[in-house]
Amino acid sequence: MNFLKYNIFGPNNQSLNTIADHLFNGSIADFVGSDFVNSQPSVNVIETGKDFRLELAAPGLEKEDFQLNIEEDQLKISVEKKKEEAPKSENFTRREFAYTSFERSFNLSDKVDKNRISATYENGILNISLPKKEVEVVKKRSIDIS
């Protein structure tokens, strides 16, 4: 009788734990390809003594493509850009569509002064400044007892 070797754990002798980790901790892009998944830009969040800063990587866009809105206690950043090209030749018409869209939302802390939020877009990076509210320092005072 001949025994056949059959590996039920996939290529390279992956263990069941490795496969389970890949299934449950991987992204859908690992399975269907990154072109299928609508990706969102990466964001850095920086806190200093006077403000919070968001750095959103979004190359290839114009500042007019961004919509920044504050709804209740959320900052919403969205982009929707359509590009159409229809060059025509003698007997041939070609159409190419390019579409970019995403939305990111961030909960705003009570520390943020919503009236002084500002943004700039340079070199493919959207920089958003979220100034902190000025903390009122209580000076020493005496309280009269009535």
Over the stretch 85-140, which tens digit does the pLDDT of each residue have? 555 556 655 656 667 888 999 999 899 999 999 999 999 999 999 999 987 777 78
Is the pLDDT confidence value at 22 over 70?
Answer: no
At residue 81, the pLDDT reads: 82
CA distance linking residue 125 with residue 61, whole number of Å? 9
In the chain, domain spans: 33-131
**Has this prediction a pTM greater than 0.95?**
no
Q: What is the mean pLDDT of residues 52-80?
A: 92
The topology under which CATH files domain 33-131 is Immunoglobulin-like (2.60.40)
Is the pLDDT confidence value at 31 over 60?
Answer: no
For residue 57, give both structure tokens: 């990587």
CA distance linking residue 83 with residue 37, whole number of Å? 19
- What percent of the chain is predicted at pLDDT more than 90? 39
